[in-house]
Amino acid sequence: MTKADLIDAVAAKAGCSKKEVEEVLGEAFTEIKKGVKKDQRFAYPDFGTFTVRKRKARTGRNPKTGATIQIKASKTVGFKPAPSFKKSL
């Protein structure tokens, strides 16, 4: 599903214009990003939980040259689906 598909589906069910739905979804995702950044997690019941995950620094290899490189520690976002969501798949 693409962003456009999501907007079309929500607009059809909500009876709103696509522009209104796009603005609301944009704001919703902005608030989710802020929540994850501030609290290190965002949980939505019956859907799942987004959390900040830390990756340790590690040694890697350049696949082109074979040279060893040092990869810095970083953060990423992980998602764990709710049990009800997993069962519906």
**Alpha carbon of residue 66 to chain centroid:** 33
Give the pLDDT score at 34. 94
Give the pTM: 0.75
Q: What is the mean pLDDT of residues 49-58?
A: 96
Q: Going by C-beta distance under 8 Å and a sequence separation of 6 or more, which residues neighbour residue 52? A: 36, 37, 40, 41, 75, 76, 77, 78
Give the pLDDT score at 41. 94
The predicted-structure confidence for 32-43, as pLDDT tens digits, reads as follows 999 999 999 999
